[in-house]
Structure 1
Amino acid sequence: MSTRVFGILAAILVGAVLSVIATMAVLSARNPGPVATVTSPASDVSVTASASSPSAPSPTMGPLPADPCHAGAVTYCALNPAVTQATIETTICVSGWTATIRPPSSYTSPLKVEQLAAFGYADQNPKDYEEDHRVPLELGGAPRDTSNLSPERGASPNPKDSAENSARAEVCAGRATLQQEQIAFISRWLAAYPGYR
């Protein structure tokens, strides 16, 4: 089996695992009920969530992963170390905060062209894409880390932007944790682009 095929299969498996993890974590946080756990042998990640304490470990289950951007040796995104659950009130929950950290187009435009070629997109016209953050800045994504940036088809704003704003509102209102929404975005991104590695 070639390295590329193995990488694609690994990405699909990790995407499926993260999707299940994100769904269970978000549903458990939003709907009180029994604690749910998902353990993935592929990534050795164990996630536990409950409505009263979404990220607290239980006696039999582990906590949410400290860094949801990594599954084994694979990096899917990057987080901004300045944004944590403890700092959301002074970072992502402050109106206009993301504008202070968003990279300029002089950085993202050349990166978009480079990534379109590197990722082998059939349509190489950069005007058909925006360079987007896999974990949105609104949820603590790293602004300039290339592992958190990729070309996304369509202009800005797009439907993903409103989903980012809704997720941020959930975190800032205390209805979901920062990690839960980060994991949800990562799993949705992997599901949309299963060949990514």
Structure 2
Amino acid sequence: MGLLGRAVPSLVVLSCLVLAGCSSSGSHAGGGSAGKNGASAAGPSAVAGSAGAGGSVGEIPVGAGPRSTYTVQEQPPAGSCHYRMEKGEPLEDLKCTPGATSPAVTQANLATTICRKGGYTKNIRPPEAVTGKEKRLNAASYGYTGKMGDAEYDHLISLQLGGDPNDARNLWVEPADPGHKPGSGVNNLKDPVETKLHTAVCSGKVTLKAAQNAIVTDWTTALSKLGLAA
């Protein structure tokens, strides 16, 4: 009786320890499993978010590039585009004219494209028979009512900076600069900025992409943002 009395409590204690151990182990394993599942769920989400933030957002569209034959490109609906003003200068509507680069021009082939001796743009420029019609349509898109001879049908990213020759996203009717005498023809301050950027790209002072981004964002500040003399 004494032995049995002592044995029963021992068995009870042993059973409790075993059960407690299983319960404790199960609880810990469950917590660990939840932790792993939580980390697994958060991991891909964080990676996807990072990729989205640093991916194609803000990237300049890529056009079709030079063609042996050009056709008139469809323009935005009449009145749907609106000029911005910066320092008194008219800027493009980024929704209508976000710019477009040419796939034929890259940082790796500058020496054989835009920086080659003898020039590059002459043989890839669309004919006036095409751009003249596009210019009239684009003037309606922007609501431009001034003299057509004073406005330039401008490549936002110029051909000498690797802009696409005939992508509608890279062309806009650029009004004359403030103070321009009506009827005196095209004379825009954006043109010398493009030339200075071209020189900087070909001399290795700035990258092609940096120059393209600067001209699309705001050509009036492009040189200063890149640390180039105006």
TM-score by length of 1: 0.57
Q: Deviations over 1:136-173 (max 9, x none)?
A: 11111000111100001134453211111110110100
Aligned mates of 1:189, 1:138 — CA distance in 2: 15
Structure with the bigger RCO (C-alpha within 8 Å, sep 6+) is 1
Select 1:173's aligned residue among 195, 198, 203.
Answer: 203
8 Å contact 1:69–1:186 — kept in the other structure? no
C-alpha distance in 1 between matches for 2:97 and 2:139: 19
CA gap 1:189/1:161 in 2 versus in 1, 3 angstroms: closer
**In structure 1, distance between residues paired with 2:156 and 2:167:** 10
Contact kept? 2:61, 2:99, Cα under 8 Å: yes
**Structure 1: segments with no counterpart, 5+ residues:** 1-40, 47-61, 192-197
Q: Highest Rg: 1 or 2?
A: 2
Cα distance change, pair 81–119 in 1 and its aligned pair in 2 (3 A): same
Supply the AA of the counterpart residue of 2:193: A
TM-score, structure 2 length as denominator? Answer: 0.50
- Answer yes or no: is the 8 Å Cα contact 2:97–2:172 preserved in 1: no
Instruction: Map residues 119-130 of structure 1 onto 2, 5 A cutoff.
Output: 119-121=142-144, 123-130=145-152
- Percent identical among aligned pairs is 38
CA deviation map 1:87-141 (0-9, x unaligned): 11111102421111111211111111101112222x2532221100011111110
Q: Determine the C-alpha separation between the residues in 2 that align with 1:112 and 1:79.
A: 19
Name the stretch that deviates more: 179-188 or 73-82: 73-82
1:106 alignment partner in structure 2: 129
Letter of the structure 2 residue corresponding to residue 117 of structure 1? A
Question: Does residue 98 of structure 2 align to residue 68 of structure 1?
Answer: no
* Contact 1:92–1:98 (Cα < 8 Å) also in 2: yes
Contact 1:133 1:148 in 2 (8 A): yes
Q: Which runs of 4+ in 1 moved over 2 A?
A: 64-70, 154-158
**Corresponding residue to 2:216 among 179, 182, 186:** 186
Q: Is the 8 A contact 1:68 1:179 kept in 2?
A: no
Indicate conservation of the 8 Å contact 2:190/2:220, yes or no.
no
Amino acid at match of 2:139: L
Quickly say closer, same or farther: Cα 1:65–1:176, change in 2 above 3 A.
farther
Of 105, 122, 134, 1:83 maps to: 105
- Structure 2 counterpart of 1:168, one-letter code: H
- Shifted more, 91-100 versus 76-85: the winner is 91-100
Name stretches of at least 5 consecutive residues in structure 2 with no aligned partner: 1-48, 63-94, 177-184, 222-230
Going by fraction, where is strand more abundant, 1 or 2? 1
